[in-house]
Structure 1
Amino acid sequence: MAVQFSSVLLSALTPVTLISGVGLLLLSMTNRYSHATNRIRELLREKASQSDKLIDPELDASIELIYKRAWYLRRAMLCMAVSVTFSACIVLCNVLDALFGIRLDVPESVLLLCGMALTVVSMMYFVLEISTSLHALGLTVHPRVHKKN
């Protein structure tokens, strides 16, 4: 029984480690998303407090850029969460195989490929968000340079 438990533990270790690493990335994305949504709310309050006749295109542009960042982050978090779910299913397949001898090699492979693909897509969205964030920062630091482009 001890040998069987150690083989179950060993087969579940890699997906569990993957879940842990992806969880840290998801935490980072969640923090960035929370900051973006709070900043949008602040800017919308600022916009609402202005008179109706005053139109501030810079404020509207800031709101749009931060909303775009939040959009990217939301998709990145969704892809990452589904990837974690696939990793958890891989652990379940490994446990079923080790305990009951149910061979689930094909479903495990499919889950692994889908999970990795979703992780890559998530990271692409995350990179787009960071790029958008740097663009917004560039507009603040060098407004004249970016207005010409």
Structure 2
Amino acid sequence: MPASRRPRMFAARLDSHTASSPLARHLLRAYLSALPTGDRYSDIAELLLGELFANAVQHCDAPADRLIEVRFALINSRLRLEVHDAGSGRPTLHTTTPDDEHGRGLFLVEELAERWGCCPRAGGVGKFVWALVAPAFAPVPTLVTA
């Protein structure tokens, strides 16, 4: 696909429900499928987007009718994921124990993202959490000799 026809950035607003998480991941897969190397981001990006979206739904203190916005952009060979919500709380990384049934989402983001952070939204309402995903290395072709 010519560079001028590649998607630069994608944004969508989804209902603030856990049932919207599969749709967010589907939209990400569609965005990545239009990129020549999109498959090099897909596994980690889908997992991270799912975690960030779930955190926004679970921890947002905004009214339930507020939408959650997801954004995807490829910037300098890094995939940037953003999840925007109208809540006031900021995500914090917690230490979990083996018996904890929740609380590992940000640990996964910390381990798998190249970098991540949280910023206030323009206009002062809410925040967005972002993560940068580096491309997975392409497999090196092996030569078979007889």
TM above 0.5, one fold?
no
Q: If each structure's strand is expressed as a fraction of its own residues, which one has the higher value?
A: 2
Q: Given the two structures, how large is their TM-score scaled by the length of structure 1? A: 0.29
State which structure, 1 or 2, has the greater radius of gyration over its C-alpha atoms: 1
Q: If each structure's helix is expressed as a fraction of its own residues, which one has the higher value?
A: 1
